Amino acid sequence: MRIFSGIQPTGRKHLGNYIGAVEQYVAGQQRGDGIYCIVDLHAITVPYDPAQLRRDVYDLAAVLLAAGIEPQRSILLRQSDVAEHTELQWLLMSSTAYGELTRMTQFKDKSAQHEFISAGLFGYPVLMAADILLYRTDQVPVGDDQRQHVELTRDVAQRFNARFGEVLVIPEGYYPPVGARIMDLQNPERKMSTTGGSPQGTVYVTDEPDVIIKKFRTAVTDSGREIRHHRDKPGVSNLLEILAAVRSSSVQELEREFDGVGYGDFKLAVGEAVAGYLAPVRERYAQLRADEPALERELERGAQRARGIASETMRAVREAMGVGRRAG
């Protein structure tokens, strides 16, 4: 089984990215062949600083390796190193409806945040579809916010196959059972986010343990006393999900364990658990990040392996679409 996912090199990665995505990449290595892609071409669809983008790619490569992506086992690559991603995006544009793209909630949210709305931002979901379909992916581990994009990828692939023949593999989304949508600690009605969150409500993978504990101690809960997962208790429910994810236990077990415990002690317990969970990652990250040439070598090795798979898919796609010289 082939597993593929992309992740943007934008700023520091937060606990939502880590639990909802990165942890799933590491676990995916037990189920199949993983391809994990640092999607720098997605990052340029909103205003950005070129020098910072290069640094962000290395930061993220170090986070992924520190988390447990094994480059001997999985492919870790930088999207822009494999030109087939953008070629396939263009070819898939003709199998994508304009109306579909206008309905993407991420496009609506992001375009409301910026004065200049790039055409790249509009085409973002097609590039994501190309990333996934290029590697004949079976499974895509992502957080809940990417559900709509994965569904679009499936629709585009099905439409392509119906028109040009059975060339593309139809992928399935894979959403973690707990932690698919980690919420902002200060505003538990909104997802923890790189751009839309509150500083105190966003826990970063590289935060110091005391900073993490402080963020949890000040997390918003409610005026009740019960530690229970319920729609009316978004703050407490979020904390229960976070703790379940980092301890690999279930929300129900935790409800029993914390029955009768006060919110203050509960928040401290979650903060300490998260700080302990991220501490080894932060330490390995610091070592790996210090050696940029080694990170670059890993990315180049990953790109070489990825190109082998990508070029085969592109041969089949071009042939089916009647584009370019006839194969063989």
Residues in the site for ligand AQP, rule: CB under 6 A?
Answer: 7-8, 10, 16-17, 20-21, 142-143, 145-146, 180-182, 191-196
Place of tokens 């996934």: 132
How near is the Cβ of 325 to ligand AQP at its closest, in Å? Answer: 36
Nearest residue to 283 via CA among 214, 209, 212, 213: 209
Residue type, 207: D
How near is the Cβ of 33 to ligand AQP at its closest, in Å? Answer: 19
Give whichever of 92 and 192 is closer to ligand AQP, judged by the CB atom.
Answer: 192
Q: Write the CA distances from 151 to 73, 114, 144, 295, 316, integer angstroms.
A: 28, 26, 12, 33, 23
Give whichever of 71 and 197 is closer to ligand AQP, judged by the CB atom.
Answer: 197
The dihedral sign for the CA sequence 222, 227, 233, 238: positive
How near is the Cβ of 249 to ligand AQP at its closest, in Å? Answer: 18
How near is the Cβ of 180 to ligand AQP at its closest, in Å? Answer: 6
Give whichever of 192 and 227 is closer to ligand AQP, judged by the CB atom.
Answer: 192
Distance CA 97, CA 90 (A): 13
Give whichever of 8 and 187 is closer to ligand AQP, judged by the CB atom.
Answer: 8
Residue type, 323: V
Q: Which residue's CB atom is positioned nearest to ligand AQP? A: 20
Nearest residue to 202 via CA among 12, 20, 6, 47: 12
Give whichever of 68 and 312 is closer to ligand AQP, judged by the CB atom.
Answer: 68
How near is the Cβ of 27 to ligand AQP at its closest, in Å? Answer: 14
Contact 21, 7 (CB under 8 A): yes
Give whichever of 5 and 96 is closer to ligand AQP, judged by the CB atom.
Answer: 5
How near is the Cβ of 142 to ligand AQP at its closest, in Å? Answer: 4
DSSP assignments along 276-327, one per residue: HHHHHHHHHHHHHHT-HHHHHHHHHHHHHHHHHHHHHHHHHHHHHHT-SSPP
Give whichever of 21 and 168 is closer to ligand AQP, judged by the CB atom.
Answer: 21
How near is the Cβ of 96 to ligand AQP at its closest, in Å? Answer: 20
**Strands annotated E in the chain:** 2-7, 33-38, 75-78, 139-141, 172-174
